[in-house]
Amino acid sequence: MEDYNQTSTDFILLGLFPPSSLGLFLFTLIVPIFLMALTGNMCMVLLILLDAQLHTPMYFLLSQLSLMDLIYICTTVPKMASGFLFGNKSISFIGCGVQSFFFLTLAGSEGLLLMSMSYDRYLAICFPLHYPIRMNRRVCVLMILGSWAMGAVNACAHTVYILSVPYCKSRTITHFFCDVPAMLTLACRATRIHEYTVFLSTTFFLLFPSVIILGSYWKVLFAVYRMHSREGRKKAYSTCSAHLTVVTFYIAPFAYTYLRPKSLRSPEEDKIVAVFYTILTPVLNPMIYSLRNKEVLGALRRVTHSICSLKM
């Protein structure tokens, strides 16, 4: 590990890549992935906003997922990239708290939003006649606001704690962003109680939504199996499989990182796993939902045709 003599209150983020030719090569792979994530999620948000046929609860929730992924990847990657390119690995005490707050808010909110999306599909497929009543605009807005609010409250509690902990050891964080467990290893007092709260938060924002999602889709798959329409079954399977793929990519690496005992964790492994939920998931989500969704592809053609018509 590199030795940094830090006399101020700033933290040092070691980053994701080693300062070598291999690190430079890996960095050149991350840049296009980051740009793809920005472009893909921004296009999904704008597409759902501009196309009237996508103004439904399902796509409204999807636009929020893309918005979260857009902010999510911008919370960690730009700082990591600037540290690698310019060698400025330091981040201020408050800056670290702000980054941690946004990361935790988005991480928690996205888990609850994915649960809301599974509930939407459950109602649409299992109770199609009641769907317009039980999943109206008001309910959809309340679920979105609830996801954001609960994620923010959880993030606020953890951020206040890590900013109040005395750090009398090295201020070098073996990570590419201000991750709470990585910061707790630098504290000069016992943090066992807060480690339990991190475990409880992970259980509530990851395991609880996972159980609800699996339960919803178990009933959905049973309902789809009983459908008489082959086209209806195909459309339902496509929508549900896309959502389950997104859920797996999001929850599995998070659970692997935050639910393991401290004795089984290693900083280097945590950094590698973090790439999945901070970089790869935001770029895969819009691809999964757009390439496998005829309605999104149709909306893309309509919006593109409208823009071309205006230019002509």
Q: What is the pLDDT of residues 262-298, one digit of tens each?
A: 777 788 888 888 898 889 889 988 888 776 677 787 8
DSSP string, 102-139: HHHHHHHHHHHHHHHHHHHHHHHHH-TTTHHHHT-HHH
pLDDT digits (tens, 9 = 90+) for 37-70: 999 999 999 999 988 888 889 899 999 999 999 9
Least confident of 105-114, 146-155, 220-229: 220-229
In a domain, 182, yes or no: yes
pLDDT at 15 over 80: yes
Q: How confident is the model at residue 169 (pLDDT cuts 50, 70, 90)?
A: low
Q: Given this model, what pLDDT does residue 5 score?
A: 41
Taking 50 as the threshold, does the pLDDT of residue 309 lie above it? yes
pLDDT attached to residue 78: 93
> In the prediction, which pLDDT does 235 show?
67
Per-residue model confidence (pLDDT) at position 157: 93
| Structural domain includes residue 146 | yes
Residue 291: what pLDDT?
Answer: 66
Look up the domain containing 129 and give its range.
Answer: 11-304
Residue 5 lies in a domain: no
Residue 125 lies inside a defined structural domain of this protein: yes
Could you tell me if 230 and 132 are in contact, meaning their C-beta atoms sit under 8 angstroms apart? no
User: Residue 265, SS3?
Assistant: coil
DSSP state of 12: E
Please choose, from the candidates 162, 157, 232, 250, the residue with its C-alpha nearest in 3D space to the C-alpha of residue 200.
Answer: 157
224 inside domain: yes
- pLDDT at res. 6: 43
What's residue 228's pLDDT? 67
Contacts of 204 by beta carbon, 8 Å cutoff, 6+ apart = 154
CB 41 within 8 A of CB 67: yes
The pLDDT mean for the chain works out to 85
In a domain, 262, yes or no: yes
In a domain, 167, yes or no: yes
What is the count of structural domains for the chain?
1
Chain segment 188-244, per-residue pLDDT in tens: 877 788 888 888 888 899 888 988 988 888 888 887 777 766 766 676 677 677 778
Q: How confident is the model at residue 116 (pLDDT cuts 50, 70, 90)?
A: very high
CATH of the domain at 219: 1.20.1070.10
DSSP, collapsed to helix, strand or coil, labels residue 90 as strand
In a domain, 312, yes or no: no
Q: For residue 7, what pLDDT is reported?
A: 44
Mapping DSSP to helix (H, G, I), strand (E, B) and coil, where does residue 8 land?
coil
Distance between CA atoms of 225 and 241, rounded to whole angstroms? 14
Work out the pLDDT band at 311, boundaries 50, 70, 90. low
